[in-house]
């Protein structure tokens, strides 16, 4: 009990509010849930610091029949004595599946998941392009090596024999004559 009283006497601290809400909400319903959450915290004296909205994520287990949800991460400075009442209100708030309130010890800026995810996608794309380029270069080298080996092979010599014009004419006459054709 002494710790709670001491916390109440201290000035506002930085807290992180992680809110899970259904991904199946319409855009209007989603905006209402986000507005209700931020209004609740601000009415309790919270001062907004940062916000990060995550995209749809699969859940490890169904929560109220939902297998996917969206996360909202909010950083607020708020009086520690008011955090408990905000926590209780979030438990019964319509549209909130789960929530978590954490005290953030340092005042470092929030690393936004959405920005890190975009950076990771760019790195993966770059990595894929690099691997593709390396594979293409490897195939080009193999083709060039094969062409060099074939160029270095000794060529078979084709012997040309002289054929006289009379022999050619004689062979053509044999082919053309009707004697050999069976009708």
Domain edges within the chain: 2-107, 111-149
Calpha distance 175→164 (Å, rounded):
17
pTM of the entire predicted model = 0.57
pLDDT grade, residue 7 (50/70/90)? very low
Task: Select from 75, 80, 13 the least CA-distant residue to 49.
Answer: 75
pLDDT in tens, 156-165: 666 667 777 8
Q: What dotted CATH number matches 2-107?
A: 3.30.70.60
Can you tell me the mean pLDDT for 79-95?
A: 92
């Amino acid at each position: 009990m002494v710790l709670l009283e001491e916390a109440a006497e201290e000035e506002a601290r930085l807290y992180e509010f992680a809110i899970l809400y259904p991904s199946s909400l319409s855009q209007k319903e989603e905006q209402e849930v986000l507005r209700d959450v931020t209004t609740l915290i601000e009415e309790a004296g919270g001062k907004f610091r940062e916000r990060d909205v995550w995209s749809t994520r699969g859940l490890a287990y169904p929560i109220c029949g939902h297998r996917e949800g969206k996360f909202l991460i909010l950083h607020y400075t708020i009086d520690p004595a008011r955090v408990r009442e905000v926590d209780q209100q979030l438990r019964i708030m319509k549209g909130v599946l789960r929530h978590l309130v954490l005290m953030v010890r340092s005042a470092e800026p929030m690393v936004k998941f959405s920005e890190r995810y975009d950076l990771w996608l760019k790195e993966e794309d770059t990595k894929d392009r690099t691997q593709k380029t390396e594979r293409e270069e490897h195939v080009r080298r193999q083709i060039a090596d094969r062409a060099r080996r074939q160029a270095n092979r000794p060529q078979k010599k084709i012997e040309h024999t002289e054929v006289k014009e009379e022999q050619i004419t004689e062979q053509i006459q044999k082919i053309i004559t009707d004697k050999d054709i069976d009708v």
